A and B are shown apart, each in its own frame.
Chain A
C-alpha cells in the first residue's frame, strides 16, 4: 500500500537540506517533492526540475482550429452558394479574419488544457497536506511503496529540522 509523510519547515534552507538528505539516503527522484504556497526560484530546494511538453499543446490546438476554420469558412460557403452583391463565394480577406480567430481560440483552449494536464490536475487524491503551506510553511512530501523506509525518511526530515511530521 502507498503511504506518504510530510515534513513541515518554516524556512527554505532546512527544507532544501531535507531534500538533499533524501537524495543522499538513496530515495529515488520522483518519490519526494516540495510543496510551497508561493513560487520559489527553480532549484531553490535542489528539487528535480520537471520536464514538460506544454509548448506542443498550442501548436496542436492551432492546427485543429485552423482545420475547423477552413471547414467553417470555405466548405460551408461552397455547400450553400449564395451570391451577394456579385461578390465571390469565397472571399479570402473575410475568411482570413475568421480563420485567424478560430486558430487562436483553439490554440488558447489547448494551452489551458496543457497547463492543467502538465500540472497533473485534477488531482483527485492529493494525499498528505497541511493548510499552513499556503501561509508560508514549506512541506517536503515523500511517497513510499515500502513502509520499511518510513523511519529512515523521518530521521532525514528530523535531522534537517522539520518542525512537524504528518502521516497519511
Chain B
C-alpha cells in the first residue's frame, strides 16, 4: 500500500536539492578520503602498467583472475539502472519514482569502472587500439570483428552511451529547477545544461513519451550486454565450467540480482546521508525486496541448472571441475559463503515484511548479496582455469597479489567518489517525478477506508 505524504513543491525543492544548494558537513571529508584512496589506486595501476602483469598473481594457467571477476561484477551492477528505470517506467510502477535516477547513475559509473579492468588487464593498454579501434594500420590488418573481444567493447560502449543520454534527458527538468534556485557560475552552468527548459506541455509530453521510448530501446541493449559478456566465457570451449549454453540468461539474471541489491544499498545510504525519509520510504524497500525475492530465486534456479547440465553430461573433466568447485578446499569454503550470502541468508529474511521495511537490515542483506555475487563470478572464472589438467606444467593455485586487491578496493572508492561528486551538482532523486506523484495521487474514500488513488493517463 502506498504510504502517501502530502509534500508541497517548495519543501520538495528544499529537501531534494540540499546536496546542491548546501554542502552537507560530511561531504568534503568523505570526498577527500575517497580522493586519497583513488589516487593511491591510480598509482598502483600506473605501477602495474610500468612493471608489467608480473606484479599480479596472474599467469599460466590462471590468466583471468580478480580483474576479470571485478569487470563482470561491475557490468552486473550496471544492470540495476535499466532494470529499475526502464522496466518500472514501462509498467508505470508508482514506487519507481525515488529510485530511477540513482539506478541510472549506478549504471553509468559502474560501466565506466568496468571498462577499466579489461584495459589494465591487457598489460599494455595502449596496444588495445590495434584490435579495437577501426583504423587502417600499416600492417594491413583490421580489427577482427569475429572476436568476442570486439563484441564486448561494442556492447558496453552502446550501453554506456545510451545510459548516459537517458540520464541526461531525464535530468533536463531538474536542471531547469536548479537554474531557478542558483546564482553566479552555478546558475550559468545550469542555464547552459538546461538548454532553456521552461516546462510547457510540449516539453513535458516529450519527457513522458521519450522516457517510455528510450526505456523500450534500452531494454534489449541491457539484455544483450551481459549476454555478450557471458559469451566471453561460453565460447571458450577448452575451459570446463565456461562453455555453457545457459550462460547468457544466467548472467543477465545474476546481474539483475546484484544490480537491484546495489540500488537497495544506495537507497539506504541516500536516506541516511541526506535525510530523505519523506521520499525514500520503507514501502520502497519493501517493493525492491519483493522484486529481489523473485529475481534471486530465478537466479538460484539457473545456478543449479548449470550444475545439473554439467553433471548430466557425465563428462569426466567437467565432473572433476565441479568436485573441485564444491568439495575441495578452499573452493568449497568460497562456494558455501557464496550460497549463504547470495541467497540462503538474505532471501528467507526478505520473506518477512518486518525485515523488508527495516532499512538497516535491507542495507546489510543487500551488501551480503553483492559479496555473494562477486564470489559467484570468481567461482565461475577461476576454478575452470585453476583445475589441474594434463600437459599443463604449472599446477600452482592462483593467489591474487596485493596489487590486485588494491585495484579491487580502488574500484569501490572510485564509484563512490563519482557518485558523491555527481550528488554535489545534480539531484540524486528526480524532483519532477516526486512532484508528478503528488499531482497524480489523491486520497479517495472506499466505504470507510481512505486509500491513495493514482491517476494514469491513457497513452
Contact = CB atoms under 8 A, between A and B. Distances in A.
A and B found bound together: yes
A25 B70 CA distance: 66
B202 A52 contact: yes
Contacts of A47: 201
Interface stretch (A118-126, A147-155, A156-164): A118-126
Contact of A134 (B161, B176, B220, B455): B176
Contacts of B332: none
A82 B143 CA distance: 10
20 contacts: A37-B177, A38-B432, A38-B435, A52-B205, A79-B142, A84-B146, A97-B151, A101-B221, A108-B218, A109-B165, A111-B210, A116-B195, A121-B196, A122-B195, A124-B196, A126-B196, A131-B180, A135-B9, A135-B10, A135-B13
Which of A52, A94, A109 has the most chain B CB within a 10 Å cutoff? Answer: A94
Interface in A91-110: 91, 94-95, 97-98, 100-102, 104-105, 107-109
Given A80-B142, A131-B181, A136-B8, A123 B198 contact: yes
Interface in A32-76: 33-42, 45, 47-50, 52, 54-55, 58, 72-73, 76
B440 interface: yes
B145 A73 contact: yes
B141 A80 contact: yes
B430 to A, nearest CB: 11
A72 B202 contact: no
Contacts of B180: 131, 133-135
Nearest to B213: A111
B210 A42 contact: no
A115 interface: yes
A108 B161 CA distance: 9
A153 B167 CA distance: 39
Given A84-B146, A118-B202, A112 B165 contact: yes
A95 B143 CA distance: 13
Contact of A41 (B161, B173, B206, B440): B440
B154 interface: yes
B208 A58 contact: no
A101 B158 contact: yes
A7 interface: no
Interface residues of A, number: 61
Contacts of B32: none
Given A42-B457, A108-B162, A123-B198, 11 more contacts: A33-B201, A35-B199, A38-B438, A54-B210, A55-B213, A80-B140, A105-B158, A108-B221, A112-B168, A115-B169, A136-B435
Contacts of A82: 141-142, 144
Given A34-B201, A107-B217, A136 B9 contact: yes
A77 interface: yes
Given A38-B435, A41-B455, A52 B209 contact: yes
B22 interface: no
Given A115-B206, A135-B10, A38 B439 contact: yes
Interface string B137-167: 0001111111100110011011001100110
Contact of A37 (B166, B199, B213, B218): B199
Interface string B415-459: 000000000000000001001101110000000000000010100
A88 to B, nearest CB: 9
Given A42-B201, A72-B134, A77 B142 contact: yes
Contacts of B91: none
Given A101-B158, A105-B158, A94 B432 contact: no
Which of B157, B177, B203 has the most chain A CB within a 10 Å cutoff? Answer: B203
A-B residue pairs, 4 tightest by C-beta: A123-B196, A136-B9, A131-B180, A38-B435
B13 A97 contact: no
Contact of B154 (A52, A98, A123): A98
Contacts of A41: 439-440, 455, 457
A69 B8 CA distance: 50
Contacts of A126: 196, 198
A14 interface: no
A109 B214 CA distance: 10
Interface string B205-235: 1111110011001101100100010000000
A36 to B, nearest CB: 5
A58 B217 contact: yes
A37 B228 contact: no
Interface string B1-45: 000000011100100000000000000000000000000000000
Given A94-B146, A98-B154, A108-B162, A134 B217 contact: no
B439 A40 contact: yes
